[in-house]
Chains A and B, each alone.
Chain A
């Protein structure tokens, strides 16, 4: 993994928490560009009902929104998701910078575990960012659609006991006690 760039083309790379309407729109625009525009995710799956119960972190190159991540808060862990970097800004580890901001934010809140759900093809990326699989990969097991990844907020301490079932947090909050997934979502 490349070191996190402090500047790109003379423009400073910075992160900030979305605090105002306009900030949130920038985070949404980055996610829409990457997930809807590039990966063809339907709108209603990308904007799944969790956006206003979460914290967004935005990365800027100069004043241009270049990346975003959504951080959701649970009792025993914080969950970064919807990590996106605009195509032309990739290769500078802006993703790493966003995840580090998530880690610091979790630390500031007294949270000691980060949990994420990765596509199998992205597991290598998360491992390079210092994450590991929640459940070790079993040889010969059927490939998963989504892989649960974890990271300690303080790397000098052992990982706390983990109680997050692998799929429950994908559901809308209003559906947490139902068996259904959000409409249109492929089940795990």
Chain B
């Protein structure tokens, strides 16, 4: 918060990035993608909303409180796939694209991933090289009216990456708030009352 206040005072845009965790936030991600891909790039609806939206994590970025950008992350065995990255037209040129990229990289690292993969519109190669991405190979492929490269980026392993020995109650927290006590930890004060069991068999402690 202190950081936000000082940014606001300096007249810089205040950027907030989080995992979309409510239907409102998810809807904001969808609206931004529709604005950019359907509105600006004439992408058909069924190509933009391709059936993978409910098998992914969606990241929403706010600039000064307004929905400004979004990314979809899909999780494969050995890499995280960044997709559907958008920054609304009015927020371009502020460098916020870098902010969402690096937030998503850290998010993936904390989940234990050390590789990011994405399909990059050719015209964005220079920009993404600066973000540390390299081409996987020489393939060039086409879909939704653009030419793409397959690119990847190695991530340094995170010391606090979630693994099997991670504290179970840390694993239960919202994935973008693994360092903050979660609602399920608070639920522990109710004890193991076994509400599913017949009333007489319940343990009260």
Contact = CB atoms under 8 A, between A and B. Distances in A.
Interface of A: 25-26, 28-30, 32-34, 36-38, 40, 42-44, 46-47, 63-65, 86-88
Contacts of B88: 36, 43
B155 interface: no
Chain B interface helix/strand/loop/mixed? helix
B66 A28 contact: no
Contact of A33 (B28, B34, B67): B34
B42 interface: yes
Chain A interface helix/strand/loop/mixed? helix
Given A32-B38, A42-B66, A43-B67, 12 more contacts: A29-B49, A30-B34, A32-B34, A36-B34, A36-B35, A37-B35, A37-B38, A37-B39, A37-B89, A44-B66, A64-B45, A87-B42
Nearest to A26: B45
Interface of B: 27-28, 30-32, 34-36, 38-40, 42, 44-46, 48-49, 66-67, 88-90
A33 B66 contact: no
Contacts of A26: 45
Contact of B46 (A25, A32, A64): A64
A29 B31 CA distance: 6
21 contacts: A25-B30, A26-B45, A28-B27, A28-B31, A28-B34, A29-B30, A29-B34, A29-B49, A30-B38, A32-B32, A32-B34, A36-B31, A36-B34, A37-B34, A44-B66, A47-B27, A64-B45, A65-B45, A86-B38, A87-B39, A87-B42
Most A C-beta atoms less than 10 A away, residue of B27, B39, B42, B66 = B39
Contacts of B48: 29
